[in-house]
A = this chain, B = another copy of it.
Amino acid sequence: MTPKYRYLLIYGDGGHANALREIIGHHTITICGDEWKTSRHLSDKIVIGVGLVREHPKRTVLFNGMKEKGYSFPNVIHKSAQIEDSAKLGVGVQVFANAVISSNVVIGDNCIINSGAIISHDCVLGDNVHAAPGGVLGGDVVIGRDTLLGIGCTILPGIKICKNSFIRIGENVIANI
């Protein structure tokens, strides 16, 4: 369950931001463009509602800039997501419907685990990783920071993927990258 925040800012007004609004389930304050630079008096809690693949680097830049300004980043977690107690999540993590985060997984800051994505036991995801809908990671996978895992991709157990990687839609990863 997502904790209830008063005065929660959401950056962005596209489909990803709207999906987050619906998960949060109460009124939020929408900001766009450079407004976050001057909106900290409205709230110090912010959710980055930018999800598209082509906007991925933007998420990292925004997170770093907002962190410097003193914002904090609540996690937004769909009520149907399955997250084991032993999993450790960073800040600003977004977990969508029916996603699975299994035992002893570590998820970095500012990650998106999108609808139905499966992160098996003992995986480690760096900061700013976006696991798109329906991707499946076997156990003990390590994903470097700022990496995009495309829709429905699959990754063999034990694989390591370096930072700034881009796994394509439906790609089956069977060797380290």
Seen from chain A, the residues whose Cβ lies within 8 Å of a Cβ on chain B are: 15-16, 18-19, 21-22, 51-53, 78, 80, 82, 84-86, 96-98, 100, 102-104, 114-116, 118, 120-122, 132-134, 136-140, 151-152, 154-157, 168-170, 172, 174
* 7 closest Cβ pairs, A-B complex: A134-B136, A170-B172, A152-B154, A15-B121, A82-B97, A15-B122, A19-B103
Cα–Cα, bound, A159→B25 (Å): 28
Q: Which residues of B contact A85 (CB under 8 A)?
A: 22
Check A115/B120 contact, CB under 8 A, given A133-B138, A152-B152.
yes
Q: Which residues in B have their C-beta under 8 angstroms from that of A154?
A: 134, 151-152, 169-170
Note all chain B residues with C-beta closer than 8 A to A122. Answer: 15, 18
Copies in the complex: 3
Question: Do the beta carbons of B53 and A157 come within 8 Å of each other?
Answer: yes
Cβ–Cβ < 8 Å partners of A16 in chain B: 121, 139
> From DSSP, what is the main secondary structure of chain A's interface residues?
loop
Question: Which residue of B is nearest A136, CB measured?
Answer: B134
A22 to B122, CA, bound (A): 13
A102/B118 contact (C-beta < 8 A), A15-B139, A84-B22, A134-B136 known: no
Cα separation A152 to B170 with both chains bound (whole Å): 9
Question: Could you say which residues of chain B place their CB within 8 Å of the CB of A120?
Answer: 15, 19, 114-115, 133
Query: Which of B100, B132, B136 lies in contact with A97, CB distance below 8 A?
Result: B100
Q: Nearest Cβ in chain B — how far from A55, in angstroms?
A: 11
Within the assembled complex, what's the spacing in Å between the Cα atoms of A97 and B137? 14
A-B contact pairs, 7 of them (CB 8 A): A15-B103, A15-B140, A51-B139, A100-B116, A116-B118, A134-B154, A136-B152
A144 to B82, CA, bound (A): 30
